[in-house]
Structure formats: C-alpha cells, structure tokens
Structure 1
Amino acid sequence: MPSLTITGTTRVFGTLAHPIDHVRVPSVMNPLYEKHGIDAVMVPIHVLPEDLEDAVRGMRANRSLGGLCVTVPHKVTIAAFCEEVGASGRRVGAVNAVRFDAERRMHGDNFDGQGYVAGMRAGGFDFAGKHVLQLGAGGAGMAIAFAVAEAGAASLSIANRTLARGEELAHRVHKAFPGCITRGVAADADPAGYDVAINTTSLGLHAGDPLPVDVGRLDPATVVSEIIMIPEETALLKAARARGHAVHYGRPMLEEQIKLIAAFIGTPFPSFEACSAGTSG
C-alpha cells in the first residue's frame, strides 16, 4: 500500500465531533484513500457546541476543506447551517455528512438509514413486504425508521421507553411513506409476529446492559438485527443466536455508510473491503 503523502493539492475532509476521542472514521477512510490512490486525507475536528457557528465560518473559508462526516452532538445543529439538505436529512432533521461546493455553500444529508438498509441487503435481507419491530426512536433510529419504510416494509412498530416519542416518529414515517403501516408501542409490548427486530438503542454497548427485547417472546423465524458495532456481538445477538435466530451485525451499516458518504463528499471508492477499525457516528 502506498504511503499517504500530503501536498498542496490534497483535499482535506474532517470528522466533526465532541468529544473527539471516540471517533474512528479517519482510521477507516485514510487507508481507503491510500489504497485507491485518492489524493485526500480525513482528520478529526474537535468543536464544542457553543463554538460551532465560529467553526463553520472558518471551515467555509478553508478552501482545502471538501467536506465533513458529522457525529454527536452536531448532527442536528449543523443542518441549520446548510444551504441545501437532502431528503433523508430533511425527514430526520439531522445530517451526518456535509460537502462544500465551489462557492463554499454547504450541502448536507443523512446516511444512517440508507447505510443500515444497504447493510441488511448485503447480508441477504430485503425489507419489502416485511413486518418490522424497531427498538428505540432516537438518534440513528429516526433515520432507520424512514429508510425501512422507504425500502418497502409492510408495517413498522416502534417500541420506545417514552411511548409518545415512538408514536410521534411513527406518525412522521407514515406521512412520508403511507404504504407502510406504522405505530408506536410500549417498550415492553409483545414482540411476537415480526419478521425482523432491530435494536437502535444503546443497550448492549456496556456489559450488564439489559436486553432491549425479550428474545424468548420472539417468533422462531424472526431475524434479530443490531446497529452497535463495538462489541461486535452484543448480549442481544448472543441470546438470539443461542435460540436459533438468524442475526445481523452492526458492522455492515458502517461499511455501507462509508461508501455512501465517500461518494457524497466527492471521493467515491471504486471498490470497498471491510476495514479493521471500528467507528462511532
């Protein structure tokens, strides 16, 4: 693999976050830039929420900066600075990728949901006509709900600790995709009768977390899907595999998002191989 050489023509991209120590996107993108001979580099950009407006002003002025991956806590607030936001970003009200055009205008969109659906398809699962139980209604879960409906799911039930939040998201999803029957349900609602159960909550990140769903109440044929990448096999996936369920890991969502974001910011990869570094975002 050729070594990364930075010159005056190198296009610079950033991962915008606070805190910054959990961010791994540069360690995924830079080896791919090297592998494919793309004259680009991605660096971490640490900005506090109260400094975001000043940071945006500076980034607009930096003509070497071609775009951004955006993660916590800036996904929502950065959208307000964009002159143009794509359909997914508008539905969710948040963006996780930004590109700068020649006039330094900002174009944003959200690829959480598209990346998730593409990852499931890569693993052989098609949402068309399926009945879906989604666990969680915040963060990436919002984008995933819209993407699942857009992918042709017959129905989507959103189980959330705060029932009203799940119901509100279900209403928004149905308004955007009326062909998908949507509803908000209580977090402890009966999980039987679904083709797939998706965990979009943070339960599973830490040892000792309770399971987000009672696996013993799922139908035997229900596929169990996770978006957490570290640990690779959460307690939910272990419990599901032990009971004979087909499972899908969180890693493919990242890999498909990387492809989509790279193309959006102007550095598409001719091919993609799984990367060894985990990420957050």
Structure 2
Amino acid sequence: MDIDGRTRVIVHLAYPSAHLQTPALFNARCRERRINAVLVPWEVAPADLATTWAALRNASSIAGAIVTIPHKETAAAHCDALEGVAAELTVANVVRRDADGRLTGRLYDGLGFVAGLRQHGYDPRGRRTLLLGAGGASTALAQALIEAGVAELVIANRNAARAEALVGRLRELNPSARIATGPADATGFDLIVNGTSVGLDGDPASPVDIATIARGSMVADIVMKPAMTPLLIGAQARGAQIHQGVHMVAAQIDLFIDFLIGDAAAATETQRPALRLA
C-alpha cells in the first residue's frame, strides 16, 4: 500500500522504541486488508508525553495511537473517554482520535494475551498463576487471566506497595477471585507470566529465579525482542513450555485496526481476532 495524502497515520508511543515489532505486523495486515494506513514508531520520553498528546489532538492525519511501555497508565489519564476494561483499570494501549480531536482509549493487551495462549493450545482456566509485574501491561493481563478462570493469581513486583495496590483494585472488580501478592518464586505454579520489560533487548536478567520453574509448567513472556528472552531460554532448559511475546501482539492487530480506522463497534473486547501467527 502506497502512502499518499489520504493515508491514516497511527503513532506507536514508546520509550525506548528500538525494540518495537508491532509496526511491521500492523502495516503488513493493513496491506493484506487493503487499508490505507501506516503505523510509525514515536519514541517519547515520559516527561514529554503531555506535549506529544497535544500534537495527536491537532493533527488531522492522525487516526490514533498504540501505546506501550512506559506510557499505558499515563496515556489513559490523558484520554477524553475510556471504554470497557480500560475504564475499570485506568490503563489504555490503544487510543482513537476522532475528527474533532476527541481521544478514546481501550485496552486489548489482556484479551490478546489470553487469545494468544488459547490459539497455541494452552487454556489458563484452572491454573495457579504467577504474574511478574504490576505496571500497565501486567494490570491488563491480571484482569484477563482472572476472567479466563485461573485458579489463583499471585502478583510479584519489586515495588511491593504497587503490587498491593493492584491486588486491591482487582479484588474490588473480582470479589470471588483468589488474588494475592507474593515473591518472584515460580515454585508450585502452573503458569508463570512476565508482564515487565525485564529481558528486553539485551537485558540479561530474568524477572524470576529460573531454578524455581518446574518441568511441564508454562512460561510466557510479553517481551518481543529478543523473541527468546533469558527467561524463555532458561525455562525451556528446565523442561517448561514457553510462549513468546509476539503472540500477544499478533492477536490484537485486527482489533487495533478495526477500532482505529475500521468498524469501532466491531472491535469489541470479546471478538476473536482473525490474525494468526504460525
């Protein structure tokens, strides 16, 4: 698809941005669907997000933004409206700009993550689950995993107060669910999920002690670059199943497109995405 004067532009807000792979997936899907739109990375420091937001409102060619680390919670606060689980959690990973400059946010990370797991043959229902992190991405994953029926959700975060705050919000939304904070120790867990940026783009660290990962458990990482993070490499060596970060994003691409430049009403939080990634 050629870029011309009618091309709808979506910006991918991140800091840093060198690791982003969503633009390649998004733009390829737009070509497949013959949609005149393009997603471009914007590396924006947290201190500059507010001024960048003003540019989004005032540029008529902008259809909206996809939002990633570290902006998901801050972006939600800048929106004029939040829909669905984004309103419940005050986190957004996609923002649509309407013709009048009004900005509406939604959150598809959790839906995409659970859909990606299921598309690759793993159902989180009934699993004892350890979630590493309590930021914007982890908040979305936590709610989605609870809605998917995990038996128990334990959240581990370096900032314990932030983990406790997230657990409190989740308990309000899900009073019957088993939710707690705990250490970054995978002992006894069926599903271990990294919702942090640990392991990103050359970082040699793991968010959990790999020696605590049991053979046969499932270890999922939302980090996309590298595809095989230190956590996934270590988990595979331990005999665990692994699930790569690209699957969460791939399961959201059609939802992003429909919400930003297609049929927003069709991009519901229960819609199964059409895109599949081998």
Q: Is TM more than 0.5 here?
A: yes
Question: Deviation per CA, 1:146-197, whole angstroms, max 9, x where unpaired?
Answer: 1111212121011222333222222221221123200001234xx3322211
Mapped to 2, the partners of 1:46 and 1:67 lie a distance apart of 15
Which of 54, 68, 73 pairs up with 1:71? Answer: 68
Give, in whole Å, the separation in 1 of the partners of 2:154 and 2:217: 14
- Cα distance, 1:105–1:124 mapped onto 2, change above 3 Å: same
Q: TM-score, normalised by structure 1?
A: 0.83
Judged with a 3 Å threshold, the aligned counterparts in structure 2 of structure 1 residues 164 and 204 are, in CA distance, closer, same or farther, namely same
Give the distance between the partners of 2:75 and 2:215, measured in 1 at CA: 43
Q: How does 1:17-166 map to 2 (within 5 A)?
A: 17-47=14-44, 49-166=46-163
Cα deviation for residue 46 of structure 1 reads 4.9
Q: The residue matched to 2:6 in structure 1 has which SS?
A: coil
Q: Number of aligned residue pairs: give it.
A: 270
Residue pair 1:66, 1:100 contacting (<8 A) in 2 also: yes
Match status 1:226 vs 2:221: yes
Cα-to-partner distance string for 1:220-261 (whole Å, 9 max, x where unaligned)? 332122212222122222222223222212110110122322
Do residues 201 (structure 1) and 204 (structure 2) align?
A: no
Using structure 2 for the length normalisation, give the TM-score: 0.84
Using a 3 Å threshold, how does the CA distance of structure 1 residues 240 and 52 change in structure 2: closer, same or farther? closer
Asked if the contact 2:137–2:195 (Cα under 8 Å) also holds between the matched residues in 1, the reply is yes
Which of 257, 262, 273 is the matching residue for 2:257? 262
Distance across 2 between alignment mates of 1:73 and 1:207: 18
Mean alpha-carbon deviation: is it higher for 119-128 or for 197-206?
Answer: 197-206
Amino acid in structure 2 at the alignment position of 1:67? G
Q: Which position in structure 2 is the counterpart of 1:253? A: 248
Deviation at 1:20, TM superposition (A): 4.3
Contact residue 154 and residue 179 of structure 1 kept, 8 A: no
Residue equivalent to 1:278? none
Contact 2:251–2:275, Cα closer than 8 Å, also in 1: no
Deviation for aligned residue 1:75:
2.6
SS where residue 91 of structure 2 aligns? coil
CA RMSD of aligned residues (A): 2.7
Larger Rg: 1
Alignment partner, residue 6 of structure 1: 3
| Distance in 1 between residues matched to 2:18 and 2:226, nearest whole Å | 17
Match of 1:272 in 2: 275
The structure-2 alpha-carbon separation of the partners of 1:171 and 1:84, relative to structure 1 and needing over 3 Å to count, comes to same
Answer whether contact 2:56 2:97 (CA < 8 A) is retained: no
Helix, strand or coil for the counterpart of 2:251? Answer: helix
Identity rate, percent: 39
Which structure 1 residue ranges, 5 or more long, are not aligned? 276-281
